[in-house]
């Protein structure tokens, strides 16, 4: 099977995002096509050509597509990828996703994102944290924000105020209690919230 440019882009995205659902890949690479048929057909061919791996989790679940080794942290990656897919699908024509760096090393953030407003020439920067509810949630950005306020050489994404942190969680009330009184602005939302309107979530 000859890979198309779209196939190559899709495989590169799976390599970066590690675990993807068909719905997510459809939203990124088959947006102008009605229904899931074309996406399903292409993913089936890539799997048949051994360019893509897949696994079904649960009797009712769809396939999860990946390239490298399987990980039990697949749900974490799927949730993080929903943030990226939601940004792509919901961005206006004048918005550009300039940066979406997963596993950003600074403070071990799940992702750092930058959205450019091409009309106003402004950039919106925010961190992303996916909370799976397995450990107590901590305000790990508080000390960093306080330190950066007086830093002589701040990171490139810092412009006088610490970026907000988008937290995707299934326990919003618990997370809210954990960050009460923090100098950092936390936008605490559920997965359904970001699928409906991620930019509204960022305005919270």
Pairwise pLDDT comparison (196 vs 62), residue with the higher score: 196
Token digits of residue 8: 């190559």
Co-location of 87 and 39 in the same domain: no
Co-location of 181 and 121 in the same domain: yes
The pLDDT of 39-52, averaged and rounded, is: 95
Co-location of 45 and 136 in the same domain: no
Give the pLDDT band of residue 184 (cuts 50, 70, 90): very high
Q: Count of domains in the chain?
A: 2
Provide the CATH number for the domain around residue 27: 1.10.10
Domain range for 130 is 75-202
Provide the CATH number for the domain around residue 174: 3.40.1350
Asked if pLDDT for residue 107 goes beyond 70, the answer is no
Question: Checking phi first, is residue 121 left (phi over 0); if not, alpha (psi -120 to 50) or beta?
Answer: left
* pLDDT above 90 as % of the chain: 83
Q: Of 21, 46, 71, which closes a domain?
A: 71
- For residues 166 and 130, give the distance between their C-alpha atoms in angstroms, rounded to a whole number: 8
Query: What per-residue confidence (pLDDT) applies to 198?
Result: 98
Q: Of 71, 102, 124, which closes a domain?
A: 71
Asked if pLDDT for residue 157 goes beyond 90, the answer is yes
Q: Of 49, 71, 93, which closes a domain?
A: 71
Co-location of 81 and 172 in the same domain: yes
Query: What per-residue confidence (pLDDT) applies to 104?
Result: 87
The pLDDT of 67-81, averaged and rounded, is: 96
Asked if pLDDT for residue 136 goes beyond 90, the answer is yes
The pLDDT of 149-166, averaged and rounded, is: 92
Co-location of 30 and 102 in the same domain: no
């Amino acid at each position: 099977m000859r890979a198309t440019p779209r196939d190559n882009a899709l495989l590169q995205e799976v390599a970066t995002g590690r675990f993807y659902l068909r719905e997510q890949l459809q939203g990124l690479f088959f947006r102008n096509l009605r229904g899931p048929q074309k996406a399903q057909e292409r993913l089936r061919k890539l799997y048949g050509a051994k360019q893509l791996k897949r696994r079904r989790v649960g009797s009712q679940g769809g396939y999860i597509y990946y390239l490298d080794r399987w990980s039990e942290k697949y749900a974490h990656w799927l949730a993080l990828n929903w943030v990226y897919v939601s940004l792509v699908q919901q961005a206006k024509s004048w918005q550009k996703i300039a940066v979406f760096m997963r596993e950003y090393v600074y403070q071990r953030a799940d992702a750092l994102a930058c959205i450019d407003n091409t009309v106003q020439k402004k950039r919106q920067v925010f961190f992303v944290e996916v909370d799976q509810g397995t450990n107590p949630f901590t305000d790990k950005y508080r000390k960093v924000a306080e330190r950066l306020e007086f830093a002589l050489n701040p990171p490139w994404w810092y412009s006088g105020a610490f970026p907000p942190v988008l937290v995707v969680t299934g326990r919003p009330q618990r997370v809210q209690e954990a960050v009460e009184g923090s100098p950092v602005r936390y936008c605490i939302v559920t997965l359904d919230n970001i699928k409906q309107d991620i930019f509204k979530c960022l305005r919270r």
